Amino acid sequence: MTDALTSPTPGSPVQFEVATNVPTTHGTFEMRAYRDLVTGAEHVAIIAAGPDGTAPRDGALVRVHSECLTGEAFGSLKCECGPQLDAALGTIAAEGGVVVYLRGQEGRGIGLINKLKAYRLQEDGLDTLDANLALGFPADSRAYGGAAGILADLGITSLRLLSNNPEKRRQLEEHGIVVESLVPLVVGISAQNAGYLDTKRDRMGHQLPTHLEAGSPLA
């Protein structure tokens, strides 16, 4: 196990705390915990070596994933976050790579209670974007400086991003990360989240198929 650092790297938005190996249903990962020095949130890098046993490096497959309690722990069908995390972990277990798991960004950064308020507004007919706006928030409040700091600590300055979201790519590139390509992650489609996914595609620019069908596999 790597010893915890006593101070952050000068200029880094995160402080490394500890590394340990964790067995999971997908295999054993190295997990490195970080404290976000801007937001105070606790993040984790979930790391899998490649088939040849080498650690991820430039050009690695990386998923930057925001915490979603409702989708990941409660199995909500209003989003595809749980299946996305599961698919990402399975993919890096097979191919090698990193999942950077960002805590404190529930509901695109508005928090759990406000996310449930947004759900309630969606029951009245608003889509996911307008519900956030009606609560006084931007369409997406998430920030990725912490993720960029974690990737820098891992020595990864260029990557293939497992995501459908060009905005995530843009923000990472603003923080100095070279995104070589977006690798589609199309999973968890259901009748309950079809409208949510349509909004992500049509109003937020996510790279999703025009016709979404329940049960679509990882593309």
Domains of the chain as residue ranges with CATH:
14-105+142-204 (3.40.50.10990)
pTM above threshold 0.85: yes
Q: Return the beta strands (E) in 25-85 as ranges.
A: 27-36, 42-48, 60-66
Cα–Cα–Cα angle for 80, 88, 183, nearest 5°?
90
Residue ranges at the known binding site: 63-68, 79, 81, 84, 106-108, 128, 163, 168
Per-residue pLDDT band for 70 (boundaries 50, 70, 90) equals: very high
- What is the tens place of the pLDDT at every residue in 136-168? 998 888 899 999 999 999 999 999 999 988 889
Contacts with 41 (C-beta within 8 Å, 6 or more apart), sequence order: 35, 102, 103, 104, 105, 146
Percent of the chain with pLDDT over 90: 68
- Tabulate helix, strand, coil % of the chain (nearest 5): 30, 25, 45
One-letter amino acid at 45 equals: A
Q: Is the pLDDT of residue 72 over 60?
A: yes
- Average pLDDT, integer, range 199-210: 72
Q: Which residue in the list 36, 142, 153, 169 is annotated as catalytic?
A: 142
Q: Which two tokens stand for residue 60?
A: 């690695």
Catalytic residue among 140, 153, 160, 170: 140
Query: What confidence category does residue 209 fall into, taking pLDDT thresholds of 50, 70 and 90?
Result: low
| Nearest in space to 45 (alpha carbons), one of 70, 14, 11, 81 | 14
Active-site annotation holds for 130? no
Residue 30 has pLDDT above 80, yes or no: yes
Q: Which residues are annotated as a binding site for GTP?
A: 63-67, 84, 106-108, 128, 163, 168
Residue 131 structure tokens: 């519900």
Mean pLDDT of the chain: 88
Annotated active-site residue 160? The verdict is no
pLDDT at position 5 over 50:
no
